[in-house]
Amino acid sequence: MSSVLRIALQKSGRLSEDSYQLFKECGIRFDYGTGKLKSVSSNFPAEFLFLRDDDIPGYVEDGVADLGIVGENVAVETGRPVETIHKLGFSKCRLSIAVPRGTDWVGIHSLNGKNIATSYPNLLGNYLAGQGVQANIHEISGSVEIAPSIGLAEAVCDIVSSGSTLLSNGLKEVETIFRSEAILIARPKLNADKQELVDKLLFRIKSVQAAKN
Ligand code: ATP
Ligand code: ZN
């Protein structure tokens, strides 16, 4: 039986459009946006799975998918043992700490003993531990930026790109803890047939990127 690469992409969100575009530019055709969970390419031995981004590292680790595209922030936060095989240069953002605009900020130690709301407890916890800061991390899954205004936390740690969401919630960015972009992740130890397909795909991706620079 000939091998087919299974590739997990975000179903709909900030990674989706550029992920679909990347494969299109690589000359790999498949249907997306049809509401289906799966689509087989008509001209490359690949099958695409459309999932929530947070689930992608786990599916790649478990071998449900061979490859996936996620933000580095999600790959690191989930801590799954997958390989980063290429950086893709889109969905660039940063994970930053922000506090209400009127807060006195004299550096990261201002967070000692404070409550911080975030969807990235591991990334934040590691960063604070590295800085010797002891704070209480409250994990929430969405709308992190409203936490200070409802009295849940004195600070947030959230994804920022332009900073306009922070601004409109009366917050100021005080510390960047992680910089992220979309990455291609792979299951370690793919068999030789699949590895050959991955190499083919990577060659095309690099050519597309080179043509843009
Ligand atoms: P899902 O429904 O799949 O769980 P989500 O709401 O968790 O989606 P998105 O907001 O679509 O996730 O973000 C996906 C990834 O895109 C993030 O993990 C991050 O790497 C990147 N990202 C998030 N916000 C921005 C932004 N404002 N600009 C650029 N990239 C971003
Ligand atoms: Zn998500």
Q: Please give the domain boundaries of the chain with CATH numbers for all domains.
A: 5-91+181-212 (3.40.190.10), 93-179 (3.40.190.10)
pTM beyond 0.90: the answer is yes
Q: ipTM above 0.90?
A: yes
List pLDDT tens digits, range 16-51.
999 999 999 999 999 998 889 999 999 999 999 999
Can you tell me the distance from the alpha carbon of 116 to that of 97, in angstroms, rounded to the nearest whole number?
A: 9
Distance from C-alpha of 69 to C-alpha of 50, rounded to nearest angstrom: 11
Nearest residue by C-alpha to atom 1 in ligand 1: 52
Give ion ligand 2 contacts, CB < 5 A: 53-54
- Residues 6 or more apart whose Cβ sits within 8 Å of residue 169: 145, 146, 148, 149
Q: Are 24 and 40 in contact (CB under 8 A)?
A: no
pLDDT at 1: 54
Cα dihedral sign for 130, 136, 139, 142?
negative
Average pLDDT, the chain: 96
Percent of the chain residues past pLDDT 90, beyond the cut:
94
Tokens of 12: 């709909």
Helix (H, G, I), strand (E, B), or coil: what is residue 73? helix
pLDDT band at 212 (very low <50, low <70, confident <90, very high): confident
- Does ligand 1 come within 6 angstroms of the Cβ of 14? yes
Distance CA 135, CA 161 (A): 25
Closest residue by Cα to atom 16, ligand 1, is 14
Q: Which residue has the higher pLDDT, 163 or 14?
A: 14
Q: What is the pLDDT of residues 71-89, one digit of tens each?
A: 999 999 999 999 999 999 9
Q: Which two tokens mark 167?
A: 């601004």
